Amino acid sequence: MGPFAQVQLTGADVFWLAKRSRRDKKGRLPRLHLEGADLCGAHLEKADLRGAALDGADLRDARLDGADLRDARLEGVIFPRPTPKVLMNPGVLESIEFDPDIIEALPDLLDFFDAPGQVAFTTYYPREVAPQVWDRLLVFVALNTAEATALVEVMGAERLQRRRDLFAVARAPTRKTLKPGTRFTIAPSLPGFRFDPTSITAGWTSDVQCHEFRLWAEDASPGQAAHGQITILEGPLLRGEISLDVLVRQVRQRVPDWSHFTDERVAAYRDTFPSYSRQDKVIHRACETVAESTGDQFVRDVRQLRAGKEGNPKLLELIELADVFQLFWSKRAAESQQVEREWRHALTLRHTRPSFMRLVYWTTTPYPIPSDLQEIVAGRLDPAILGLARPSLLRRIMEGEG
């Protein structure tokens, strides 16, 4: 055990440890032995603690911003709240001990990793519910890394406690990269159910985010399973879908066999082809905003080709490269030859990609849909949820005046 083992340094300024210690030829400090040290309130800003032995150290209220803890031994370490911005090695999360009262601060830990910005969507939803009783639904948006996935599992178990085994889990990884500040909308839908809130719009501000809904079996039939989905949008563009299969329990019903619920249907999309009429200005502006604010190169390419000669064959090539074809349906779209050319080409791909097309509308009821599109999954896009208009303009948009 080293010279600092079990030392009490509560409130001490130990920054001198890094400044006075002799470095080796590579500029590294010798291993500092601080096993079990009480470092509550210690000043360690920008301290070079690479390779330090900190097993069991209590770092609550310590000032660690900018500290370098790479290669440090951190088993049993208690970190401060809120978690500081420090440098750490990937994979250390599973060796760190967290108290229940700092679970909410855990997402900040992932700022320590130089991880890619590709995301995954994960939901925890009840396998069965009682009629007209509130239950919970959790949706995580997190980096698609091993560390973030492990953290989602920790946070899910912490929130659900003993009921964890009663919840199904579905995860949809994606190649899509979210930039800081990117806004997305999560909207659950399940026939016969009510959700509170009906949707959540949030910004991408941390590497793991948890959003919670309540669900209520309002008109769903007892003894039957309801089938729905969670839709994830970036602006008006579809970015992910996660299926929901929830059984509405009958009175005195025994716990059912869940084997038929094991096939979770999830999808995450990086490249969404938006097909719309340029005369639908509210949709046009929303897609432009996504292209400009997030740097979505695919949407930019679509926009550039649309601005050129009508009927450009390269647009059809982009449709084939897309993960999903999203048709923004309206009276103007129905009258547009370019839009019809696009959706008819997308239809030719359905024999190998049956879930390739999605039709959305934003008026109170959809404009008449042609017979060729009747089999396409359709849903209503709420302009108020997506922030596409001020309240004073909502009625105009709902009536299709865009």
Q: Which has the closest alpha carbon to 52: 74, 36, 67? A: 74
Domain spanning 1-108: CATH 2.160.20.80: yes
Q: Are 357 and 379 in contact (CB under 8 A)?
A: no
* Residue from 324, 332, 340 nearest 373 by CA: 340
- Angstrom distance (rounded) from CA 4 to CA 10: 13
Asked if residues 51 and 2 have their Cβ atoms less than 8 Å apart, the reply is: no
Q: What distance in Å separates the CA atoms of residue 117 and residue 178, rounded to the nearest whole number? A: 6
> Looking up tokens 């925890």, which residue turns up?
124
Lookup: tokens for 231? 């839709």
CA distance 160 to 73: 31
> Looking at domain 272-398, which CATH architecture does it have?
3-Layer(aba) Sandwich (3.40)
Query: Which ranges in 281-335 belong to alpha helices (H)?
Result: 281-294, 297-307, 313-321, 331-335
Sequence-ordered list of residues with C-beta below 8 angstroms from that of 246, at least 6 positions apart, any chain: 125, 126, 127, 128, 129, 190, 193, 215, 217, 225, 226, 228
Question: What tokens were used for 166?
Answer: 């009663």
Assigned fold of 118-268: Immunoglobulin-like (2.60.40)
**In the chain, where does the domain assigned CATH 2.160.20.80 lie?**
1-108
**CB of 155 closer than 8 Å to CB of 274:** no
CA separation for the pair 132, 221 (Å, rounded): 11
Backbone angles phi and psi of 325, in degrees to 5: -105, 115
What CA dihedral angle connects 113, 268, 261 and 208, to 10 degrees? 30
Range(s) for CATH 2.60.40.2660 in the chain? 118-268
Look at residues 315, 332, 343, 344 and name the one whose alpha carbon lies nearest to residue 278.
332
Predicted pLDDT of residue 135: 92
What is the pLDDT, as a whole number, of residue 45?
75
Note down pLDDT in tens along the chain; length 402 residues.
Answer: 444 434 444 444 444 444 444 545 544 444 556 655 667 667 777 777 777 777 777 776 677 777 777 777 776 677 665 555 666 655 454 445 444 444 444 444 444 333 446 788 899 999 999 888 899 999 998 888 887 888 888 888 888 888 888 999 988 877 667 777 788 889 999 999 999 999 998 888 778 889 999 999 988 888 888 999 899 888 888 888 888 899 998 765 554 444 333 344 566 677 889 999 988 888 888 887 777 766 677 888 888 887 766 667 888 899 999 888 999 999 999 999 999 999 999 999 988 888 899 999 988 889 999 999 998 888 888 766 555 444 443 444 444 444
Q: In the chain, where does the domain assigned CATH 3.40.50 lie? A: 272-398
Q: What are phi and psi of 29, to 5 degrees?
A: -80, 155
Rounded distance, CA 250 to CA 86, Å? 52
Give the pLDDT of residue 89: 59
pLDDT of residue 175: 67
Give the global pTM: 0.58
Report the chain's C-alpha Rg in angstroms.
26
Alpha-helical regions (H) of 141-243: 146-160
